């Protein structure tokens, strides 16, 4: 049974940093693509960062809104994906979700590519 559990959310002032974690279980972690998404109230879910695994290689991708500020990484030994968020802005406030794909991913920042989702962790950035 695939399970994704996020942690690390919280409240921070603008300019601050947070690191989110997503612990995965129930599948071969190193073989499948993963991503972070976020959803603010009244807005659509947005792909933030992804780890695309294809043909033994790994590719990282970021939404334009977070490039240069967020870093996605993985620890295969711990079956965990991280999202380091720096220089946070009030517009980064959202529920953050990690997601895993058991199939072939074409658009790594599209929610349609992912089969499994965590429960989310709230990030609130105050000005």
- pLDDT at res. 49: 98
- Residues 74 and 124: their CA atoms lie apart, in Å, by 24
> Rounded to 5, what percent of the chain is helix, strand, coil?
5, 50, 40
- pLDDT at res. 104: 87
Q: What is the mean pLDDT of residues 44-70?
A: 95
- pLDDT at res. 31: 84
- pLDDT at res. 113: 95
SS3 for 66-121, per residue?
CCCCEEEEEECCCCEEEEEECCCCHHHCEEEEEEECCCCCCCCCCHHHCCEECCCE
Task: Read off the pLDDT of residues 18-56 as tens digits, 9 standing for 90 and up.
Answer: 999 999 998 888 889 999 999 999 999 999 999 999 888
Q: What is the mean pLDDT of residues 54-59?
A: 88
Structure tokens at 7: 């942690």
- pLDDT at res. 54: 85
Task: Read off the pLDDT of residues 80-110 as tens digits, 9 standing for 90 and up.
Answer: 999 999 999 999 999 999 999 988 888 999 9
Helix (H, G, I), strand (E, B) or coil at 31: helix
pLDDT band at 75 (very low <50, low <70, confident <90, very high): very high
């Amino acid at each position: 049974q695939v399970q994704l559990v996020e942690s690390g959310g919280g409240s921070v002032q603008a300019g601050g940093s947070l690191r989110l974690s997503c612990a995965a279980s129930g599948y071969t972690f190193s073989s499948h693509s993963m991503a972070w998404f976020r959803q603010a109230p009244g807005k659509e879910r947005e792909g933030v960062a992804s780890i695309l695994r294809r043909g033994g290689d790994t590719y990282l991708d970021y939404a334009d809104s977070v490039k240069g500020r967020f870093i996605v990484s993985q620890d295969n030994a711990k079956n965990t994906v991280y999202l380091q968020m720096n220089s946070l802005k009030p517009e980064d406030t959202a529920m953050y979700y990690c997601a895993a794909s058991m199939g072939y991913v074409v658009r790594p920042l599209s929610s349609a590519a992912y089969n499994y989702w965590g429960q989310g962790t709230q990030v609130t950035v105050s000005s």
